[in-house]
Amino acid sequence: MLKLFDSFSLKKKDFVPFQKNLVKIFICGPTLYDYTHIGHARIFLIYDLLCRLLHENGYATDVLVNMTDINQNVFKKAKENSEDYSTISRFYSYQFINDLHLLNVTSINRFAHVSDFVTNMEEQISNLMKQNIAYSANGNIYLDTSKVKDYGAMSKQSKEQLNLHRLDIGPHKKSQDDIMLWNCSEDFGFYWDSQFGKGIPWWHMQDSAVAIENFGRNYDIHGGARELSYPHHEAHFAQYKLLTASDNPVKFWTHVGLVLSNGEKMSKSLGNVVWARDVVNRYGQNLLRLYIFSAHYHKDIDFTERSLLAMKPLLEKLYLSSSKASDRTDKEMTVLIENFFNSLNDDLNSQKALEILDKICSYVINGNNLGADDFVRICRVLGIKL
């Protein structure tokens, strides 16, 4: 059975979905104004591994990725190119799906452009205002966080710590950490008409609308980068609970560590952004997968060409072992295979699983028997194509 670390309760728990055989997963997706960098690629590779493991465990998965096309960076790029925001965002959504294809990420079945859900966002904001939990201040609409039960529980912050944040400050805002739901500014060059006047449905509201319209009242796993924990996931969870009148509509919150590039956070100004497609085109997706899985998903990793190439011996051993796959599996090999899958089922400990895989390959190369079926199972869960 899979045990998964829930970053809300800070506990590793037995994974039991709401429905018997189906696992619903929501992954925070990209903002559509650029290609997929290696940090984004890690997120989708980790959840692809999780889905492949769930399939191995007999579950079906329903995986939703929201793609943010309502965002200042998208609007800025559109203006620079004298295009509509949707022309830019549709172009990058095709690129994103193409990048996932290159990465052999096959587990996502729902891709949502958030701009297709603006009417739902409007209805939901109106619902929160009727509940007296959202308020209008100078045309902007905010979530009144002082009225949200257990606000701060996601990011483990006290009221005092929350009060130190200054988020989307505008006139007459009640508390500086209140969450913006609707921005009435027309300065971005793009806006939507609504019952609140012209404006833009703001970031955290987008996930809530996409989740409710796709999954309804609950889903099993929310995934994304660790840096999204506050304010993004804190706000989304608060809104989702209020809108579904449920105390616990998401079973597991999971967060993936950062990918640094040569010791620093990736940024265009530092010139150290690594694009996933460049790595795949140069080194292949198999090597990238082994590299990403060589560290536990909780940890931050530092991407360097050297650390990527350090996985080459394992990949070569894997290729060599595949040519020696047999029609049966020796008893001691069965134990190793069990350990391999047990490691993955232990909060997706891919680091340990790859250490065991290295052992399995060495044994096969030295003449032990590994059945072709078992070999295929291992490669299938890792998404390795031979």
Question: If binding is defined by CB under 5 A, does position 212 make contact with Zn ion?
Answer: no
Nearer to Zn ion among residue 203 and residue 297 (C-beta): 203
Stretch binding Zn ion (CB under 5 A), from 28-36, 103-111, 243-251, 253-261: 28-36
Cα gap 6→82, rounded to integer Å = 44
With CB atoms as reference, the residue minimizing the distance to Zn ion is 28
Subset of 169-188 contacting Zn ion (CB under 5 A): none
Question: If binding is defined by CB under 5 A, does position 235 make contact with Zn ion?
Answer: no
Question: If binding is defined by CB under 5 A, does position 207 make contact with Zn ion?
Answer: yes
Nearer to Zn ion among residue 189 and residue 216 (C-beta): 216
Tell me the closest approach of the beta carbon of residue 127 to Zn ion, in angstroms: 20
Cα gap 142→199, rounded to integer Å = 13
Contact indicator for 157, 122 with CB cutoff of 8 Å: no
Tell me the closest approach of the beta carbon of residue 275 to Zn ion, in angstroms: 22
Nearer to Zn ion among residue 38 and residue 43 (C-beta): 43
Tell me the closest approach of the beta carbon of residue 65 to Zn ion, in angstroms: 10
- The SS3 of residue 243 is helix
For 237, what's the count of Cα atoms within 13 Å in the CB-facing half-sphere? 27
Nearer to Zn ion among residue 2 and residue 28 (C-beta): 28
Applying CB under 5 A, the site for Zn ion has a residue count of 2
- The SS3 of residue 52 is helix
Question: If binding is defined by CB under 5 A, does position 250 make contact with Zn ion?
Answer: no
Nearer to Zn ion among residue 77 and residue 232 (C-beta): 232
Q: At what angle do helices 285-293 and 372-382 cross, to 10 degrees?
A: 80
Contact indicator for 386, 324 with CB cutoff of 8 Å: no
Stretch binding Zn ion (CB under 5 A), from 25-33, 39-47, 134-142, 278-286: 25-33
Cα gap 54→256, rounded to integer Å = 18
Residue 14: exposed, middle, or buried by beta-carbon count in 10 A (0-12, 13-18, 19+)? exposed
Tell me the closest approach of the beta carbon of residue 207 to Zn ion, in angstroms: 4
Cα gap 306→287, rounded to integer Å = 12
Tell me the closest approach of the beta carbon of residue 28 to Zn ion, in angstroms: 3
Tell me the closest approach of the beta carbon of residue 349 to Zn ion, in angstroms: 26
Beta partners for 182? 141, 201
Tell me the closest approach of the beta carbon of residue 160 to Zn ion, in angstroms: 26
Nearer to Zn ion among residue 255 and residue 289 (C-beta): 255
Beta partners for 168? none
DSSP state at residue 35: -
Question: Of the candidates 125, 175, 129, 126, which has an alpha carbon nearest to the alpha carbon of residue 152?
Answer: 175
User: From residue 257 to residue 296, what is the string marking binding to Zn ion with x (rule CB under 5 A)?
Assistant: ----------------------------------------
Question: If binding is defined by CB under 5 A, does position 28 make contact with Zn ion?
Answer: yes
Stretch binding Zn ion (CB under 5 A), from 22-30, 171-179, 287-295, 358-366: 22-30
Residue 264 CB coordination number (10 Å): 10
DSSP state at residue 184: -
- Binding residues (CB under 5 A) for Zn ion: these are 28, 207
